[in-house]
Amino acid sequence: MAEETYKLIYFDLKARAEPARAMFFMAGQKFEDVRILFQDWGKLKTQTPLGFLPILETSKGALSQTSAINYYLANKLGFLPEDEYEKAQSNSISLTITDLGNHLLEHILLSELYKLRPSPNDIEEKKKTVREKLIQTQSFVETFCKNGNKFIFGDKVTVSDIELFTLWTFISPIYPLAEFKNAWLEEFMDNMKADPKFAEYLAQQSPDIVDRLLQKGV
Ligand SMILES: N[C@@H](CCC(=O)N[C@@H](CS)C(=O)NCC(=O)O)C(=O)O
């Protein structure tokens, strides 16, 4: 049977597509990394099933929704926990991380970090809500990680670890804004950076639009 082929379509952003890219790299699986330019998006948007990206095109068909894409790849490439109940927990973590990302984008990232919107009048209130959400999500994920384990479901990196690491890296510039720090999370992030394959993946990452925007201090 012919080997399945993969084309990941997104923007020149780590954001929602980076866990998929990390899994491809770590599994040594070839894929096409298509990065749509914002100026071309207007005409392409109408050709997508839901009007947003990422989309994963496979030889079986196209998949939309980040969590579904990540689950499919995790299953194919060996980044799911073994146990059925843990697989469901992994999905629960994935959706929670997506919710957090959306919440942060809407309430703080767009106005306070990327300056793409004016800062709202109730920004202090928003920062408080964001901080509570960060603490809630982190505590929720931490409950899955049993004492002494390096990663969420044991000593092997799974898709949940990659999703958590990726989101936290993406939002880390807001730590001073949200005054958030957590010992478990810091240790988890260090464990991820110390994993040889994940470290190899981090070393070959190149800056995206957000990295360039933040370096310029825009
Ligand atoms: N629920 C979707 C949301 C995807 C989404 O909002 N994608 C953004 C980029 S991060 C997008 O395509 N924005 C362009 C647009 O909405 O026109 C998912 O989780 O994949």
Segment 71-80, tens digit of pLDDT? 999 999 999 9
Q: Which atom of ligand 1 is nearest to the CA of 11?
A: 9
Q: What torsion do the CA atoms of 188, 190, 196, 199 make, to the nearest 10 degrees?
A: 110
Amino acid 175: pLDDT? 65
Can the peptide bond before residue 118 be classed as cis, meaning omega within 30 degrees of 0?
no
Average pLDDT over residues 15-44: 97
Residue nearest to atom 9 of ligand 1 (CA): 53
User: Three-state SS string across 60-94, please?
Assistant: CEEEECHHHHHHHHHHHHCCCCCCHHHHHHHHHHH
**Exposed, middle or buried: residue 81 (CB in 10 Å: 0-12, 13-18, 19+)?**
buried
Answer with the residue of higher pLDDT: 172 or 29: 29
Report yes or no on whether pTM surpasses 0.75: yes
Those residues whose C-beta lies under 8 Å from the C-beta of residue 137, and which sit 6 or more positions away, are 96, 97, 99, 100
Q: Is 138 in the pocket of ligand 1 (CB under 6 A)?
A: no
Average pLDDT over residues 46-74: 97
Q: Which two tokens stand for residue 158?
A: 């799974």
Tell me the best of 8, 53, 116 to mutate to test the pocket of ligand 1, counting ligand atoms within 8 Å of each CB and taking the most.
Answer: 53
Decide: 18 and 202 in contact? Cβ < 8 Å. no
Amino acid 218: pLDDT? 41
Q: Which of 3-7, 83-87, 112-116, 134-138 has the lowest mean pLDDT?
A: 112-116
Q: Which atom of ligand 1 is nearest to the CA of 98?
A: 19
pLDDT at 157 over 70: yes
Q: Is 45 in the pocket of ligand 1 (CB under 6 A)?
A: yes
Q: Which atom of ligand 1 is nearest to the CA of 52?
A: 12
Candidate ranges 116-125, 126-135, 189-198, 204-213; pick with highest mean pLDDT: 189-198
> What domains can be seen in the chain, in order of their start residue?
6-77 (3.40.30.10), 84-195 (1.20.1050.10)
Q: Tokens 């960060």 map to which residue? A: 134
pLDDT digits (tens, 9 = 90+) for 11-23: 999 999 999 999 9
Q: Is 14 in the pocket of ligand 1 (CB under 6 A)?
A: no
Cα(55)–Cα(81) distance, rounded to whole angstroms? 24
